[in-house]
């Protein structure tokens, strides 16, 4: 039995006739009849083959490159044999893979030599992800992943289904998964189709997102690192030396002196930054084109992508924690970003979850309204924030100085007296520490526990109390010296970038009281996944 969320319809009493199913669900079940085993799309073997070849692209490429000579033709033959075997395995997988809908579960029959029958209850499916690359769209198909909390792989992965069948399966899971909890139907006739749109991004917002983000810089840095590994180090240094000499030689022809040289360097830096931002805008358009966040009953669905279309959905109750981000560029454009943590399986912990960015970019008012819409009966933002320890800025500054002194020593040893210029970093560190300590704080009420931090780049992180899984009181040596402590609140689904909800640098007695209060609140209510 799943605990109903505040504001959801009351459970249906036993013996009460079930309400009529929405027309969209009836059509979906008519397209995917129950008790009938179905195969994947006839071209599914091709996509399985391409996925297998993609994993072996490096060794196969090496065989092709180094097997071009006649005396090494056996290497090319070996590569052909490998591809042929993969093709046969993919075709055999198509003939041995079956699925059918059985009541409130999905039955998947698969296996080449070792046959297996896997039963996946709809009520345990947390995320339904539809993935469409450009090739998928050409064939009119989609890859479907069904994920649950925990685990190292999806509960079921279908490569591939016809797009209409994939959407029909998503509707059936959405409806029957909620019906299995004995609660009211998740989908109403008004929301059974495209759902209620909560947020959509036009081209103007996507361009703003590209200007705000640093994705272009990440790609440029990766390309530079790859070039440095591929080309000899001397050649790379020679290219930079020749470019620098030619550029400044051209500027020196105008006899402008050091002022013209400084202006040229500044212009060159601005040009590079402009190109990086332009690249970020292009990446944002490719990734977020047609972004739409919609609600289907108690399930949130995100669709996005220009070349590769991604459609992912998750029940509201599966959201474990929320993160609001606001960088300097966010504030310049009057925008914020809203991310969520969900407890879903993931093969690669470094891989981005299908539904993580609830609002890649939106106004602060839109982000707050979205939080209050999904977290019904919650008050966001909190009415008041409790401050940190009065000497928290000293604790922050001292922690930065420990690493700063080491960096200054290394710079001085490497660059001589010029390395002392790194001392100019200390006033900035003092300013950041004072600003962070003055603005940071925490808030807790009967529904949420929240923390805000940062001054230059700001972040708000919060979670429902009944989603808390672990609680910890921490004290480092510096914390003990200043009479401070930190409270770490952990939830399921926290990624490497988000981490635990940390309320740091509180007075020791206050940290103990907060720890006891949260522990008491959590003990009185069941854990909701």
Check the CA dihedral 165-168-173-174 and report its sign. Answer: positive
- Confidence bin at 484 (pLDDT 50/70/90): very high
* pLDDT (0 to 100) of residue 2: 41
DSSP state of 38: B
For residue 234, how many other CB atoms are within 10 A of its CB? 8
* pLDDT tops 90 at residue 418: no
- Residue range 106-130: mean pLDDT, rounded: 84
Q: Tens digits of per-residue pLDDT, 496-512? A: 556 678 999 999 999 99
Closest CA to 500 of 314, 341, 384: 341
Q: pTM score, two decimals? A: 0.79
For residue 484, how many other CB atoms are within 10 A of its CB? 22
Find how far residue 158's CA is from the centre of its chain. 22
Domains, the chain, ordered by start: 23-190 (no CATH), 215-287 (no CATH), 378-529 (2.30.29)
Helix ranges (H only) for 180-252 are 203-212, 215-230, 233-252
- Residue range 433-437: mean pLDDT, rounded: 93
* pLDDT tops 80 at residue 254: no
16-25, 58-67, 181-190, 258-267: least confident range? 181-190
Check if the beta carbon of residue 216 is closer than 8 Å to that of residue 280. Answer: yes
Alpha-carbon span 331 to 444, nearest angstrom: 26
Alpha-carbon span 64 to 73, nearest angstrom: 9
- Confidence bin at 174 (pLDDT 50/70/90): confident
Check if the beta carbon of residue 322 is closer than 8 Å to that of residue 311. Answer: no
- Residue range 251-280: mean pLDDT, rounded: 73
* pLDDT (0 to 100) of residue 230: 60
106-120, 143-157, 389-403, 428-442: least confident range? 143-157
The token duo for 326 is: 């606001």
DSSP state of 358: E
Check if the beta carbon of residue 108 is closer than 8 Å to that of residue 98. Answer: yes
Check if the beta carbon of residue 436 is closer than 8 Å to that of residue 451. Answer: no
Check if the beta carbon of residue 360 is closer than 8 Å to that of residue 323. Answer: no
- Residue range 299-314: mean pLDDT, rounded: 90
Residues 6 or more apart in contact with residue 372 via CB below 8 angstroms = 378, 379, 380
How many Cα atoms are found within 13 Å in the side-chain-facing hemisphere of 65? 6
331-345, 356-370, 439-453: least confident range? 331-345
102 by Cβ neighbours in 10 Å (0-12 / 13-18 / 19+) ranks as exposed
* pLDDT (0 to 100) of residue 327: 93
- Residue range 358-374: mean pLDDT, rounded: 95
- Confidence bin at 12 (pLDDT 50/70/90): very low
Q: Tens digits of per-residue pLDDT, 30-86? A: 677 766 788 999 999 999 988 888 877 766 666 665 555 545 566 667 777 888 888
Check if the beta carbon of residue 72 is closer than 8 Å to that of residue 66. Answer: yes
* pLDDT (0 to 100) of residue 75: 66
* pLDDT (0 to 100) of residue 280: 92
């Amino acid at each position: 039995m799943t605990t109903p969320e505040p504001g959801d319809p009351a459970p249906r009493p036993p013996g009460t006739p079930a309400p009529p199913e929405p027309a969209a669900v009836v059509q979906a079940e008519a397209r995917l009849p129950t008790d009938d085993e179905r195969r994947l799309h006839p071209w599914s073997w091709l996509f399985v083959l391409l996925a297998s070849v993609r994993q072996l692209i490096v060794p196969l490429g090496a065989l092709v490159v180094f097997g071009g000579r006649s005396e090494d033709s056996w290497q090319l033959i070996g590569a052909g044999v490998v591809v042929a075997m993969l093709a046969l395995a993919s075709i055999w997988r198509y003939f041995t893979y079956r699925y059918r809908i059985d009541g409130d579960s999905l039955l998947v029959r698969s296996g080449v030599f070792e046959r297996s029958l896997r039963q996946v209850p709809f009520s345990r499916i947390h995320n339904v992800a539809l993935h469409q690359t450009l090739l998928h769209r050409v064939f009119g198909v989609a890859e479907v992943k069904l994920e649950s909390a925990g685990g190292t792989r999806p509960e079921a992965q279908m490569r591939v289904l016809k797009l209409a069948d994939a959407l029909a399966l998503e509707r059936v899971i959405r409806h029957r998964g909620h019906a299995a909890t004995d609660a009211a139907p998740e989908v109403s006739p008004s929301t059974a189709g495209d759902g209620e749109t909560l947020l959509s991004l036009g081209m103007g917002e996507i361009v703003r997102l590209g200007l705000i983000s640093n994705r272009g810089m990440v790609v440029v840095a990766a390309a530079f690192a790859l070039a440095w590994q591929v080309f000899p180090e001397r050649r790379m240094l020679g290219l930079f030396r020749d470019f620098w000499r030619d550029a400044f030689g051209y500027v020196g022809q105008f006899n402008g002196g050091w002022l013209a040289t400084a202006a040229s360097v500044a212009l060159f830096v601005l040009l590079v930054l402009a190109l990086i931002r332009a690249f970020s805008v292009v990446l944002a358009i490719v990734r977020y084109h047609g972004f739409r966040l919609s609600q289907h009953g108690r399930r949130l669905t995100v669709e996005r992508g220009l070349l590769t279309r991604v459609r992912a959905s998750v029940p509201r109750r599966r959201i474990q924690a929320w993160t609001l981000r606001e960088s300097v560029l966010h504030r310049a454009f009057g925008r914020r970003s809203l991310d969520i943590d969900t407890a879903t399986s993931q093969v690669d912990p470094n891989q981005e979850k299908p539904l993580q960015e609830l609002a890649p970019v939106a106004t602060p008012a839109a982000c707050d309204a979205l939080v209050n819409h999904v977290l019904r009966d919650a008050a966001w933002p909190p009415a008041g924030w409790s401050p940190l320890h009065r000497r928290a800025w000293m604790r922050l500054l001292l922690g930065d100085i420990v690493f700063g002194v080491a960096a200054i020593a290394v710079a001085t040893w490497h660059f001589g007296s010029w390395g002392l210029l790194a001392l100019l970093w200390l006033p900035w560190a003092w300013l950041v520490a004072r600003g962070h300590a003055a603005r940071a704080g925490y808030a807790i009420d009967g529904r949420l526990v929240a923390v805000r931090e940062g001054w230059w780049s700001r972040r708000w992180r919060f979670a429902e109390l009944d989603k808390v899984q672990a609680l910890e009181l921490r004290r480092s040596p510096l914390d003990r010296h200043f009479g401070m402590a930190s409270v770490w609140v952990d939830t399921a689904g926290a990624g490497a970038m988000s981490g635990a909800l940390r309320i740091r640098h509180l007075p020791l007695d206050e940290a103990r009281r907060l720890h006891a209060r949260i522990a008491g609140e959590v003990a009185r209510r069941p854990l909701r996944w």
